[in-house]
C-alpha cells in the first residue's frame, strides 16, 4: 500500500478561487470590497514574509488589504488604540495581529481586544467558547483547513476514531472540538500520554501538531488511516513534518510537508474574512464556502 498524497496546495487554490468569486458577489451587494487588516509589530523576518503573502492573497481574491507596520518598541496602549480603531472601522471585516509580539507587549490583552466578530484568526476566547458550545463563530485557520482536507478525502467523518497529538490553543484544542462536532470519537494526546504509539495505532484519523520532526513512525499507524501533518520543523535536510514520510507505506492518505496543511491557512483566513463581510452586510453565501 502507498498512501494517497493529499494535495493541500491544489485544494487551497480551489478554495481561494471560490472565495474570490463570492467576494465579487458580496462587493456587488454591499457596495464595497471585504476588508482585511493585518498588524505587524517589529521586523521578524518570518512574520514579514507571511504578512506579505497574506496581502498578495487578499488582493488576488478581490478584497481590500490594510497593512499596519509598527515599530518593535511600540507601547501597549498605542497598539490597543489601533485595534480599537480597526474594530470601529466599517471598511474592515477581519483583523489579524501577527504573532508572536515583542516580549514587552501583553499578547493576551491584544487578542481579547479584537472584536470577536472581526477575529478572523479565531483566537479570541469568545470564539473559542462559541466553537466549544456549537455556536457560529470563527475557528483558527489551520485546524479548519485540516477539517476541510479530511472532509474532502473521507467524506462523512461520523463515527471515526481520531487522535489529535498536541493540545495547543491554536491547533490541538480547536481541532479536537471540530472533530467532535463531526461526530468523531476524539482523543487528545500530548507529551504525558501513556503509551502514545498504542493510542495512535487505533485511530482512523491522526492529526499531528507537536513540532517534533518525524515523531509519528510507521509502526504507530493503523493500516489505511488518514494522517494530517501540521508540523513544520526546520532540519539539516530541509522542512519536515511531525510524521515520518515512511508512514506512506501504511497510511491510506497523508499530507506532505511542505504542500499539505500550510497552504490551507491563508486560504481559510480569506474565507473567514469573506464570511465576516457577508454577515455584516446581510449576504447569504453558498454552502461550499
What does the DSSP 8-state code read for residue 216? B
Task: Count how many residues are written for the chain.
Answer: 289
Q: Is 121 labeled as catalytic in the residue annotation?
A: yes
Answer yes or no: are the C-beta atoms of 79 and 102 closer than 8 Å. Answer: no
- Angle, helix 172-181 to helix 141-154, in steps of 10 degrees: 40
User: By C-alpha distance, which of 138, 177, 168, 144 is closest to 242?
Assistant: 168
Residue of 54, 118, 173, 222 marked catalytic: 54
Residue 264, C-beta contacts closer than 8 angstroms, at least 6 positions apart:
8, 11, 12, 15, 141, 142, 145, 146, 148, 149
Query: Could you tell me where the beta strands, DSSP code E, fall in the chain?
Result: 4-5, 35-41, 64-70, 94-97, 161-165, 185-189, 205-208, 226-229, 233-235, 238-240, 253-254
Residue of 33, 98, 119, 177 marked catalytic: 98
Q: Is 98 labeled as catalytic in the residue annotation?
A: yes
Residue of 93, 117, 121, 229 marked catalytic: 121
Strands 226-229 and 185-189: unpaired
What pLDDT, on a 0 to 100 scale, did the predictor assign at position 42? 95
What pLDDT, on a 0 to 100 scale, did the predictor assign at position 238? 85
What pLDDT, on a 0 to 100 scale, did the predictor assign at position 1? 67
Domains of the chain and CATH, by start: 31-115 (3.40.50.10860), 141-262 (3.40.50.720)
- What are phi and psi for residue 179, nearest 5 degrees? -70, -35
Tell me if residue 183 falls in helix, strand or coil.
coil
pTM (whole model) above 0.85: yes
What pLDDT, on a 0 to 100 scale, did the predictor assign at position 70? 97
What pLDDT, on a 0 to 100 scale, did the predictor assign at position 236? 84
Q: Is 177 labeled as catalytic in the residue annotation?
A: no
What does the DSSP 8-state code read for residue 102? P
Give me the residues of the chain with pLDDT under 70, please: 1
What does the DSSP 8-state code read for residue 219? G
Strands 35-41 and 64-70: parallel
What pLDDT, on a 0 to 100 scale, did the predictor assign at position 56? 95
Strands 233-235 and 238-240: antiparallel
Amino acid at each position: 500500500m502507498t498512501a494517497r498524497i493529499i494535495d493541500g496546495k491544489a485544494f487551497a487554490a480551489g478554495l481561494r478561487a471560490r472565495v474570490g468569486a463570492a467576494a465579487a458577489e458580496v462587493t456587488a451587494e454591499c457596495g464595497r470590497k471585504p476588508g482585511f487588516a493585518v498588524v505587524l509589530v517589529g521586523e521578524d523576518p518570518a512574520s514579514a514574509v507571511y504578512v506579505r503573502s497574506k496581502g498578495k492573497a487578499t488582493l488576488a481574491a478581490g478584497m481590500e488589504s490594510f497593512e499596519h507596520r509598527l515599530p518593535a518598541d511600540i507601547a501597549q496602549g498605542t497598539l490597543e488604540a489601533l485595534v480599537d480603531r480597526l474594530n470601529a472601522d466599517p471598511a474592515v471585516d477581519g483583523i489579524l495581529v501577527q504573532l508572536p509580539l515583542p516580549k514587552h507587549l501583553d499578547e493576551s490583552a491584544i487578542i481579547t481586544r479584537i472584536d470577536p466578530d472581526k477575529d478572523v484568526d479565531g483566537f479570541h476566547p469568545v470564539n473559542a467558547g462559541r466553537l466549544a458550545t456549537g455556536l457560529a463563530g470563527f475557528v483558527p485557520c489551520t485546524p479548519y483547513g485540516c477539517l476541510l482536507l479530511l472532509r474532502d478525502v473521507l467524506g462523512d467523518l461520523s463515527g471515526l476514531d481520531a487522535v489529535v497529538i498536541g493540545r495547543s490553543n491554536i491547533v490541538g484544542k480547536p481541532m479536537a472540538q471540530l472533530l467532535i462536532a463531526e461526530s468523531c470519537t476524539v482523543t487528545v494526546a500530548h507529551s504525558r500520554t501513556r503509551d502514545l504509539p498504542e493510542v495512535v495505532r487505533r485511530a482512523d484519523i491522526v492529526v499531528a501538531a507537536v513540532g517534533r520532526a518525524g515523531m509519528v513512525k510507521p509502526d504507530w499507524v493503523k493500516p489505511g488511516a488518514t494522517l494530517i501533518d501540521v508540523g513544520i520543523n526546520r532540519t539539516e535536510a530541509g522542512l519536515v513534518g511531525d510524521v515520518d514520510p515512511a508512514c506512506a507505506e501504511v497510511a491510506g492518505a497523508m499530507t506532505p510537508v511542505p504542500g499539505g496543511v500550510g497552504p490551507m491557512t491563508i486560504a481559510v483566513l480569506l474565507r473567514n474574512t469573506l464570511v465576516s463581510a457577508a454577515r455584516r452586510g446581510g449576504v447569504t453565501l453558498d454552502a461550499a464556502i
